[in-house]
Structure 1
């Protein structure tokens, strides 16, 4: 009876904790928002980059070809979520899976601008594999940081915590397309720059955002809930 009473008191105390002072929650929300900003900007830039002319660093794809790439990537993502992600999470956990996925995303993104030198079958294989892997890694990160948020609060506070998270995430999702479009327009004007010319600069900046997100998954910034 004493142990049960103590558990109840601890749970009641946890329920009354101010969400804005709950650093495990706030730190995971910040990391989640940074990764959301990256993913939204990437989605916006990918289509613009794929349809732009090769002389500007793009792939000269038609809208139909871009749609086919995205459809295959979506199918691969569905298979991953249904049959593979559970094993990945069980083996690595929320934090390590997010770290590994964000670290692996960086070299994949870095390879995108060099695909413009490929053509035909080689280009198709490289692009399909890259987009599938990028989608798989992104959903691993987003799911991992979402689970961290839910684990940082008691059951009774999860609705309010998710409300705060969704509001913050929506803000980052709102500014990402505008920022991505402006960034793409700017990089198109610097095709002959000595430092990361053209579209190389786009993916360099995307990688910087991904790197910031990766850093935010480590201590002392990220507080892992007990």
Structure 2
């Protein structure tokens, strides 16, 4: 039981999601599969970061920032609605592939602000990113398994029950 709580703490909501997919034959394998879901984001990001930098240089920072922001909404929603393990992996990979935000945002801040405000702008970007990494999973955990947590609002027969 303590090992399960420790694993849940490390993996967050992915633990319950992988458990719901019934892909792991044993409870000990849930962390193995959650690792694939977690790393697929970084694989997508590693494969496309340079491309997004080139696109931002050629077509401008704003379009890349808008595409990246829209992709966060779309792919995180699809990830939350994943019905099986492979859909979860593919949506996380897609999120990473279209998430070329950090470089263009920092470049945009450096290009548009005077020298004395650039340090503040770059630290604001990092601070906002860190706050998002805290608030996002908290909201996701609060809204996870809505049919079980809020049965009066969500039916087990809908996608929220799955």
TM norm. shorter chain > 0.5: yes
Q: Is the 8 A contact 1:190 1:198 kept in 2?
A: no
2:54 aligned partner: 87
Say which structure, 1 or 2, has more relative contact order (CA 8 Å, 6+ apart). Answer: 1
Please identify the structure whose Cα radius of gyration is greater.
1
TM-score normalized with structure 2 length: 0.64
2:69 aligned partner: 102
TM-score normalized with structure 1 length: 0.49
- Distance apart, 1:80 and its partner CA: 1.6
Distance 1:176 1:160, change over 3 A: same
- Residue correspondences, number: 144
**DSSP-derived class of the 1:193 partner:** coil
Distance 1:113 1:160, change over 3 A: closer
> CA separation in 1, counterparts of 2:147 and 2:105?
31
1:158 and 2:125 matched: no
Q: Within 5 Å, which residues of 2 pair with 1:1-226?
A: 45=13, 47-48=14-15, 50-53=17-20, 59-61=21-23, 62-82=30-50, 84-112=51-79, 115-116=82-83, 124=86, 126-138=87-99, 140-184=100-144, 188-190=148-150, 193=154, 198=160
Runs in 1 of length 4+ with deviation above 6 angstroms? none
